[in-house]
């Protein structure tokens, strides 16, 4: 039985038929007490939100997170899925280096994430910016254990209106930028690292006016397969995380007005079995799984987080 010090908190829950209690008091013999099956209490800590546990258990007790001591790079970490993932990674014990193209948003994101975050302004399609990113990582941390290649752009343009500028914009960021984000991380990545590529269900769905974007995401899925083979001797895992429609700022670029954006969202919702748009935090939770040892025997996969849209 572990000894603890707290300020009068009593939490009870029932897990799998086993009754457990965390009892803390101000008495000299403060204790963390368990009642019922030991397995039930283990499940309690496994399933209870880690943020809740940290508020319940005294600060004097250190709770190791799933990413304790890890160094993570997240491109496009200043908003949306990248920002949500950065916050989740830090909550699990990691230190993160995030990128973004706009300094004001980047600074705000770093402030929101907290002291274990560093922001580096840059555009992933600019190789000099990527070099500068990893110079900062090397100087500050010496290595990178996790890469979430998340930065991406999307635009709705029918085939008859596709321009060279549109094509280059999407492929430069979503394909070229992603490739070199990963390549330039490899000299700093120890064996056994984790690489997560932000793909999309668009790669397997025939969405009107999304042809170029979908092609970029099909390339990302292909990278996950090829790089799994390339990096197998180093035991570096490479996986593609494929979101469905997620409520992020990328939606704002799909139509010139809020009404237009809302109409697009409604159209997507009608195709999703769960009947709603997903959240950035739902993507972040899956990214934690792919980054951590929970997925230690998972590599080369495409993991869909789409409310069932691409599955039925």
> Confidence band (pLDDT; 50, 70, 90) for 215?
very high
CA quadruple 104, 101, 224, 237: dihedral, nearest 10: -50
Interval 166-185: pLDDT, tens: 999 999 999 999 999 999 99
Query: Quick one: what percent of the chain has pLDDT higher than 70?
Result: 80
Order of strands across the sheet that contains 71-74: 117-121, 95-100, 71-74, 146-149, 194-198, 237-243, 302-305
Q: CA 304, CA 274: separation in Å to the nearest integer? A: 14
Backbone angles phi, psi at 254, to 5 degrees: -90, -10
Asked if residue 253 has pLDDT above 90, the reply is no
Q: CA 178, CA 192: separation in Å to the nearest integer? A: 20
CA quadruple 136, 172, 88, 299: dihedral, nearest 10: -100
* pLDDT given for residue 60 in this prediction: 46
Q: Which of 94-108, 207-221, 248-262 has the lowest mean pLDDT?
A: 248-262
pTM over 0.85: no
In the predicted model, what is the mean pLDDT of residues 265-278?
94
Domain range 71-305, CATH architecture: 3-Layer(aba) Sandwich (3.40)
Q: CA 88, CA 205: separation in Å to the nearest integer? A: 29
* pLDDT given for residue 11 in this prediction: 42
Tokens of 144: 């990178």
* pLDDT given for residue 131 in this prediction: 98
For the chain, the average pLDDT equals: 86
Just list the catalytic residues.
213
Buried b (16+ CB within 10 A) or exposed e, 282-303: bbbebbbbbbbeebeeebebbb
* pLDDT given for residue 4 in this prediction: 39
Find all residues with CB under 8 Å of 275, minimum gap 6, and list them: 269, 307
In the predicted model, what is the mean pLDDT of residues 112-120?
98
Residue span(s) of the chain under CATH 3.40.50.720 come to 71-305
In the predicted model, what is the mean pLDDT of residues 225-249?
96
Tokens of 274: 């769960």
9 CA to centre of own chain = 32
> Confidence band (pLDDT; 50, 70, 90) for 254?
confident
Selection from 169, 152, 234 nearest residue 195 by Cα: 234
Q: Which of 11-15, 128-132, 197-201 has the lowest mean pLDDT?
A: 11-15
DSSP-derived 3-state class of residue 297: coil
* pLDDT given for residue 30 in this prediction: 42
Asked if residue 19 has pLDDT above 50, the reply is no
Asked if residue 210 has pLDDT above 50, the reply is yes
* pLDDT given for residue 5 in this prediction: 38
Q: CA 88, CA 284: separation in Å to the nearest integer? A: 6
> Confidence band (pLDDT; 50, 70, 90) for 32?
very low
165: left (phi over 0), alpha (psi -120 to 50) or beta: alpha
* pLDDT given for residue 251 in this prediction: 80
* pLDDT given for residue 111 in this prediction: 98
Instruction: Using the structure block, give the residue that is written with the tokens 């109409």.
Output: 263
Selection from 240, 238, 71, 90 nearest residue 150 by Cα: 240
> Which has more confidence, 81 or 255?
81
In the predicted model, what is the mean pLDDT of residues 190-200?
98
Asked if residue 36 has pLDDT above 80, the reply is no
> Which has more confidence, 79 or 9?
79
């Amino acid at each position: 039985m572990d000894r603890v010090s707290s300020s009068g908190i009593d939490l009870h829950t029932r897990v799998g038929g086993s009754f457990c209690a965390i009892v803390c008091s101000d008495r000299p013999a403060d204790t963390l007490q368990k009642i019922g099956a030991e397995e039930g209490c283990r499940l309690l800590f496994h399933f209870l939100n880690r943020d809740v546990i940290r508020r319940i258990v005294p600060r004097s007790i250190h709770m190791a997170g799933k990413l304790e001591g890890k160094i993570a790079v997240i491109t496009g970490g200043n908003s949306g899925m990248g920002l949500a993932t950065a916050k989740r990674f830090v909550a699990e014990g990691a230190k993160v280096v995030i990128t973004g193209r706009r300094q004001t948003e980047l600074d705000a994101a770093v402030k929101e994430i907290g002291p274990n975050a560093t922001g580096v302004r840059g555009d992933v399609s600019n190789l000099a910016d990527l070099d500068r990113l990893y110079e900062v990582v090397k100087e500050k941390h010496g290595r990178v254990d996790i890469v979430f290649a998340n930065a991406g752009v999307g635009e709705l343009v029918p085939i008859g209106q596709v321009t060279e500028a549109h094509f280059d914009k999407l492929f430069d960021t979503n394909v070229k930028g992603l490739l070199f984000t990963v390549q330039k991380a490899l000299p700093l990545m120890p064996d056994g690292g984790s690489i997560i590529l932000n793909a999309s269900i668009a790669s397997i769905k025939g969405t009107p006016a999304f042809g170029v974007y979908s092609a970029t995401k099909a390339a990302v899925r292909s990278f996950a397969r090829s790089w799994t083979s390339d990096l197998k001797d180093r035991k570096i895992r490479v996986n593609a995380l494929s979101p469905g429609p997620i409520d992020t700022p990328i939606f704002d670029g799909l139509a010139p007005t809020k009404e237009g954006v809302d109409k697009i969202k409604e159209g997507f919702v009608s195709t999703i079995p769960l009947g709603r748009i997903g959240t950035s935090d739902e993507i972040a939770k899956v990214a934690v799984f792919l980054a951590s040892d929970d997925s230690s025997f998972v590599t080369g996969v495409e993991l869909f987080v789409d409310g069932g849209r691409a599955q039925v």
